[in-house]
Structure 1
Amino acid sequence: MNTNLIYRNLCRDDFDAVIQLATQVHGEGYVDTQALEKWFRQGICNDINASFVVLDGKTLIGYRITFSAGLWDIDQWCSTQLWNVDPDKVCYFKCNTLAEGFRGLGIGPELLALSAQSAKKQGALAGIAHLWKQSPGNSAVNYFTKCGARYISTHPSRWNEDSQNGYICTLCGNDCHCDAQEMLLEFARD
């Protein structure tokens, strides 16, 4: 593994690089500055930031966006009755994104661990995610499973509404029918 990797909290100075990487990996229109500002604020609670970036030298090669428990909207894609955790105590793992040459090196799980530690310090008992089932080699679901998450539900065409509003999926174009696998990661209790 590259020893020049630097993990740190997401800050506003990272926004341009995060948007550029998001566009490369997820597609045009995945996130813009306005949305990223909202996401950034949703990750901070009790002066603790639950979102992280990783740099190779000075180049941003990955990020993990996490929304603090109580600072995100539970919607129709959340199967709260299956969580067995108070929804108000669940953070939302929005996205974990790595540049192509840095996948499979343990960076994603490290970003997840850092976010989970911060979310736990904020008061969360667990984190929920909607993982991109069509990710290359189903890597998103595989790594989240290896990190201890459990399957909750599959949501077909999860991002179709987003694609009707400007998001262009890297696989489906502007009519996304990718599935989301809802998974819950419970945090160890002290």
Structure 2
Amino acid sequence: MGDLVTGEDGLARPAWAAHDEMLRHYYDTEWGMPVRDERGLFERLSLEAFQSGLSWATILRKRENFRAAFANFDPDAVAGFDEADRERLLADAGIVRNRRKIDATITNARATVALRDHGGLADFIWGFRPVQTPTPRDFTEVPTTSPESLALSKALKKAGFAHVGPTTMFALMEAVGIVDTHLVGSWRRGSSGLWA
């Protein structure tokens, strides 16, 4: 269990969440808990895309800036962003200024709105929940993709989404509780209520 660290509170957490207060709070209160609303899922989908190639801590530190820049991730508002908004976002030092990721977020907002006629983003994403979840004992056993994340990636691309590769989609599935990759022995294992 070398990948878990027991804190002063007696709770075992992975090393990445054991020392930084912001990451510990995120791990203890949010990561892996079910998110089933459209806005919440659009935010997580967007932030996971921005995180690609960067550390999650970088994104988490900028999260409030992202919320301000992207109208609190209201899909209707972001779907209406135009070239002036793109330029505003590219000039915003408070977020990750990557044109491809900014464009993907606007594209994904429009695709999210379009999905409402077909059951909505939440039902769409949660429709890829696997029958079983991984039970990793250390970080070497935590997958980075799954058949379901690959299928979700393909389905989202077909529905008009961008920057939704299978690794990014697996990270999304972990973050919103679709799978539980909390290490066996972590105090958060099974805390979503969806997996034993």
TM normalised by structure 1 equals: 0.26
Higher helix share: 2
Q: Which has the larger radius of gyration?
A: 2
Q: Which one has more relative contact order, counting CA pairs under 8 Å at least 6 apart?
A: 2
Higher strand share: 1
TM normalised by structure 2 equals: 0.25
